[in-house]
Every structure is written in C-alpha cells, then in structure tokens.
Amino acid sequence: MPRMADNGRMSSSTSSAAGVDRAALVAAFDAELQPERFKDYGPNGLQVEGAPRVRKLVSGVTASRALIDAAIEAGADAIFVHHGLFWRGQDGRVTGWMKERLKCLLAHDVSLLAYHLPLDAHPTLGNNAQLGQRLGLVAESRFGEYDLGVIGRRVGGAAFADAGALARHLELTLRHPVTRIGEPPSAITRVAWCSGGAQDWFEAAIAAGAQAFITGELSEPQTHLARECGVAFYACGHHATERYGAPVMAAHVAAQLGIEHQFIEIDNPA
C-alpha cells in the first residue's frame, strides 16, 4: 500500500519498466470516475497529451507550475490532478502563466489528466469519501447535485460535545486553521460535509437536517445563515479538504496497471 512520507510525498513500490499505453491509463481513470455523467466547469480526462507510454504517474491537487516542475524532476510521464488547466470562461489565450505551464509539460512530453466533480463524487476514493474517512465520519445519506454533499455521524455514534469540540477535531486532523460560525443548541451528532468551494450548499445541508456543515471556504451569506439557523459552519481550507482524493485514486489506478505512483504535495494555505 502507498504511504504518506514526512515530506508530504506519497510513495509506492508498484512499478513496471515497460509502463502502459497512455490510452490505457486514461481509460482506467475514465472507468473509475465516469466523467460522462457530469456537466462540469472544465474538461475532465486527458487535458495535455504527452508520451505514448507511461511508466511513472505523479498525483497532486492542482496543476500548478510548482507541481509540474516537481513531477518532471521526479521522472513522471503523466500527472493526475483535481484542478486542471482549463476552466469554463477562461480567456483562452496561451500567455503568461498558462504558457509557462504548458511549455514545461510539452517540452518534457508529460501528460496531464484532470478530474474535477468526478473526483469529488467517487463513493469510496473521491475527495468527499476520503475527507469523511479521515475525519472519522460515516456517511448515511447524500444531498445536492450529483449527490456530492454527504451527511453522516461520527464512527461509533458519539457526539461532538459542542461546536468548539468539532472545530478542534478538524484543525488537528486537517492540520489547517478553521473558521467556525454558529453554535448549535445541543451536542452535534449529525454532520454534513462537501470539500472545496461548496459554501453555497450550506442551506441545502440545513434543509437535510445537519447540525454542522464542513467545507473549504466561507462566503458572506453563510455567516448570517449559521447565526440565524443554529447550525455550525466550518471553513477548513479548499486545499486542506481536497488533498486526499487525488493520491488515493491515482494509487489505485497505478496499482491496477502496475506502474509507479508518487503523490507530491504543494503547500497551499487557501
């Protein structure tokens, strides 16, 4: 099994000198993530075409220049991320930071694969499933578009004594500062969560019966909703809540195909 090293990099002992066809790698991810089910904010799947054979796969959260450089240094033939390069409404011109990222990928013949909502939604290896697992929460039901939102309880059924106790648990587990708004009138047993920028789903979580809602970001309206509805809102960091799906999914596919995998974490305080 892969393991997380102290430096934030995930290593794996699975490797094959011959590697696999790039098309087989894409097909394996597509089979797991079923991108055709989603109307997303950008293209899912292969975003940049690299070498036809893949021996080493690097995963990360975002296709930043830092990740691309680190993956190239690590000898990657392909990179798997949650946040790719191309998004709806972009300017479309290849200049500045976009030019530099693409230049590095193309010069080194490295493929880039990105899956956004499909990675959030995967029921066992996705961002929301892995976030719940690490927080010690077991899913009981789902809500929202594509059933991305999750509602559940603490493993074993024990309650969090109050909103502060849950905040401390989140900060300790995610190793990231947490912004908390609102104070439920009783101990918290029913918790909803959705990773990343799901703050607009707070009202749906309240309607679904949550006493607390965990996500990555906070916008102005959620403060008032939390105070008025008696439901605690926790903004735990976009990156901090979405750093778990990519390495687990990539390790799973790499093991299936018999290629090497490494997770590289690029720190992000957001």
- pLDDT on residue 65: 98
121 belongs to a structural domain: no
Residue 172: CATH number of its domain:
3.40.1390.30
16 shares its domain with 101:
yes
Query: In which band, very low, low, confident or very high, does the pLDDT at 18 lie, cut at 50, 70 and 90?
Result: confident
147 shares its domain with 226:
yes
Q: What is the pLDDT of residues 180-226, one digit of tens each?
A: 999 999 999 999 999 999 999 999 999 999 999 999 999 999 999 99
- pLDDT on residue 7: 39
Query: In which band, very low, low, confident or very high, does the pLDDT at 270 lie, cut at 50, 70 and 90?
Result: very high
65 shares its domain with 137:
no
269 belongs to a structural domain: no
234 shares its domain with 255:
no
80 shares its domain with 152:
no
Q: What is the pLDDT of residues 103-138, one digit of tens each?
A: 999 999 999 999 999 999 999 999 999 999 999 999
201 belongs to a structural domain: yes
134 shares its domain with 236:
yes
Q: What's the token pair of residue 252?
A: 């799973």
Our count of domains for the chain comes to: 2
122 belongs to a structural domain: no
Average pLDDT of the segment spanning 7-30: 73
What does the longest C-alpha to C-alpha distance in the chain come to?
A: 60
120 belongs to a structural domain: no
Which residue, among 238, 259, 251, 254, has the nearest Cα to 120 in the 3D structure? Answer: 238
Residue that has been written with the tokens 């901090």 in this structure: 240
Cβ proximity of 59 and 244 under 8 Å: no
Query: Count of CB atoms within 10 A of residue 89's CB?
Result: 7
91 shares its domain with 168:
no
From CA 142, how far away is CA 29, in angstroms rounded? 23
Q: Is the pLDDT of residue 2 over 50?
A: no
Q: Is the pLDDT of residue 8 over 50?
A: no
- pLDDT on residue 16: 52
pTM of the model: 0.92
227 belongs to a structural domain: yes
Query: In which band, very low, low, confident or very high, does the pLDDT at 17 lie, cut at 50, 70 and 90?
Result: low
Residue that has been written with the tokens 């990675």 in this structure: 119
- Write the CB contacts of 76 (distance below 8 Å, at least 6 apart in sequence): 56, 57, 58, 110, 262
- pLDDT on residue 229: 96
Residue 237 belongs to what domain range?
127-241
Phi, psi of 61 (to 5 degrees): -85, -45
